[in-house]
Amino acid sequence: MNRIIFIAVWMLLSSVCVHAQRNNQDYRLALDYYKNGEYDKAAVLYEKMYKASGSEGYYRNYYNCLLALKDFETAEKIIKKRQKRYKNNPVLYVDLGLLYRHQEKEEEAKAEFEKAISVVTVQMIGQLSNAFSQVDEHNYAIATLLKGQKLKGDDKAYSTTLARLYAKKGDYKNVIDSYLDYAVSEASNIQTVQSSLQKIIKQDAYMEELQTQLYGRIQGNPNEVIYPELLTWTFIQQKDFESALIQAKALDRRFEEDGDRVMNLARMAVKEKNYDAAIEGYQYVIEKGALSPMQTLAKIELLKARKSKVTETNNYTSEDIENLRNDYHNFLDKYGRNPTTTRTMRDLAHLYAYYVNDLDKAVKLAEEIVNMSAAEKRLKAESKLDLGDYYLMQNDIWEATLSYAQVDKAYKEDHLGEVARFKNAKLSYYNGDFQWSQSQLNVLKASTSELIANDALELSVFITDNMGLDTSTVAMEMFARADLLILQNKQDEAFVTLDSIDQVFKGHALADDVLFARARVHIKKREYEKAVVHLEKVLEDYGTDILADNALFTLADIYENHLDQREKAMEYYQKILLEQPGSLFIIEARKRFRRLRGDMIN
């Protein structure tokens, strides 16, 4: 008896397995036909599988095959039969409406689409909207979601889906309206909204509409913080830090904050080199007085921003330098010279060395940091590198070498060690010891720091190009000496040395480098028109040589930041993009070109 039962069960299971295997083979074959557009063959198999199981998947592909084959009669029969079985499924009305549309029965199609919306329940809103969207019936998809809002009693429901549907129609007003509804529905939604908006506000129409609606909502809802926060964000996207600052300060005052919002905005402005906006932000925090626990930090960062404005823009007066120096001293007199203020001390030393031309005071400040036992170890090493630079500017070669070597030894496997080795390699170059410099540079070319590797490669190539065919090193020694004089701010002596190279070594390979060095001197002296003359000469006479991209980028920078000629700047940035594809400046050139063109860059 047991044996008979076992055989019966085994035969049943075998039959089920065979049937399942056959169905699986039919499914794969039908899908292959479907994907390949062989709808007649696919329809036969899907009909068979659908009749056997009635599943949604088989129905959907069978229906699509019938539409493709224009077998409208059969399609209508299976839809209506399915409607009897699933009376509450509004998606089937969409299928029937689409079938009528294929037959150019517009009124009948419209009636079915509207019927779908009329019978939809809140549970089916998403499914019906998606069904309309998949067949590009975006208006009906939107109407479905709007009905869903009514059914739920929530006029902000489905906001992000609505925004995407409005975007497909190009309805930027409702796109923005929907995203703002979503943003205000929950505070945590703001980041999602910002991420979505960031993809579309590069189009002027969207940005204008966004700002218009935000202003309107701020006026209508003065106690809602989300809207002014988003408005601040839009100004930041446009790099309009002045307008962003107005909003940030207003929020800070309204909510009696401690200035943290304004500090963060000022830091963003510094990164974008908008120093005026940054300075205004830091000053606002300082003026809050004891109300802000960040007052001291704001003073430190304000000094740094003011110094960066001098060093980065090269647009300042002697009075600016004098005022900045006095403010540094006033700060240090109040807060002392201690581990907390060492970075400010370091910045002041840099100001003395490069802008006040008082190397003794620069050295004294750097030595004070280096000898401060409680100071941060890494900052002390950085100050020791600065000290080496100041010694070099004083022409104290031995002390400079010693300072660099000490940092190299202490940070052998660190970026600081590589910086120290590069400075020593360059010092050897200044000193005319080109062979030793080259041996150090060859190692540094494999640096993990891209900046050090590039600088090492550039100097190494320069030495090789100008020493390779010349047994005499006199011209190179003179040029290296001129390079050092430029570093030491001895501009007139540098000009004399460069002129001597031209007179004594006419036609030397260094001729383009001499022109570029003259341009560098004029830039340091802020004689930009004179610098342009030399740079143009580099391009005219040596446009295919190694300095061409340097000359192009420097010209573009002068026209952009010092001569206020945006079109000329764009012209030179574009030349780098088109004519110098291997240039190290290409990424920065592309960024600046796009910014000048008006593109929104994140």
Look at residues 560, 565, 491, 585 and name the one whose alpha carbon lies nearest to residue 314: 560
Residues of the chain with CATH 1.25.40.10: 469-597
**Residue 509 scores a pLDDT above 90:** no
- State whether residue 82 is helix, strand or coil: helix
Percent of the chain with pLDDT over 90: 67
Residue 9: the pLDDT is 40
CA distance 248 to 265: 8
**Phi, psi angles (nearest 5°) of residue 134:** -65, -25
Whether the pLDDT of residue 204 is over 90: the answer is no
Task: State the Cα–Cα distance between residues 527 and 525, nearest whole angstrom.
Answer: 5
Cβ pair 428, 440 in contact under 8 A? yes
pLDDT at 400: 95
**Fold of the domain built from segment(s) 239-313:** 1.25.40
The SS3 assignment for 455 reads helix
pLDDT at 315: 77
- pLDDT tier for residue 11 given thresholds of 50, 70 and 90: very low
pLDDT band for position 86 (50/70/90)? confident
pLDDT digits (tens, 9 = 90+) for 38-78: 999 988 988 888 888 878 888 888 889 999 999 999 989 99
Task: Please write the tens of the pLDDT for every residue from 368-384.
Answer: 999 999 999 999 999 99
DSSP state, residue 507: T
Residue 223 scores a pLDDT above 60: yes
Q: What is the pLDDT of residue 477?
A: 93
Selection from 60, 56, 55 nearest residue 42 by Cα: 60
Is the pLDDT at 231 greater than 50? The verdict is yes
* 21 exposure class (CB count in 10 Å sphere: 0-12, 13-18, 19+): exposed
Contacts of 213 (CB under 8 A, 6+ apart): 173, 176, 177, 180
Report which residue type is found at 130: N
CA–CA dist 279, 584 (Å, integer) = 32
CB 117 within 8 A of CB 92: no
Q: What is the largest CA-CA distance in the chain?
A: 119
What's the pLDDT score for residue 23? 58
The position carrying tokens 């579309």 is: 200
Query: Which CATH number describes the domain made up of 469-597?
Result: 1.25.40.10
Task: Give the amino acid at 177.
Answer: D
The pTM of the full predicted model, rounded to 2 decimals, is 0.77
How far from chain centre, in Å, is Cα 564? 25
Q: Is the predicted pLDDT of residue 265 greater than 90, yes or no?
A: yes
pLDDT of the residue at 464: 87
**Would you state the pLDDT for residue 10?**
39
CA atoms of 328 and 332, how far apart (whole Å): 6
Percent of the chain with pLDDT over 70: 95
DSSP, residue by residue, 258-272: -SHHHHHHHHHHHHT
539-579 residue pLDDT tens: 999 988 889 999 999 999 999 988 989 999 999 999 999 99
Mean pLDDT, rounded, of the chain: 89
pLDDT at 508 over 90: no
The b-or-e profile of 234-263 (16+ CB within 10 A means b, else e) is: bbbbebebebbbbbbbebbeeeebebebbb
How far is residue 182's CA from residue 230's CA, in Å, rounded to a whole number? 12
pLDDT band at 471 (very low <50, low <70, confident <90, very high): low
pLDDT tens digit sequence for 388-411: 999 999 999 999 999 999 999 999
**Torsion-angle region of residue 289: left (phi > 0), alpha (psi -120 to 50) or beta?**
left
User: How far is C-alpha 590 from the chain's CA centre?
Assistant: 13
At 248 the pLDDT is 94
For residue 16, what pLDDT is reported? 38
The mean per-residue pLDDT over the stretch 415-429 comes to: 94
Instruction: Please answer whether residues 232 and 254 qualify as being in contact, where contact means their C-beta atoms are separated by less than 8 angstroms.
Output: no
C-alpha distances (whole Å) from 376 to each of 64, 177, 411, 420 are 71, 52, 14, 18
Rounded mean pLDDT, 304-311 = 92
Task: Output the six-digit token pair for 273.
Answer: 């080199």
CB 442 within 8 A of CB 416: no
Nearest-CA neighbor of 383 among 397, 367, 398, 395? 367
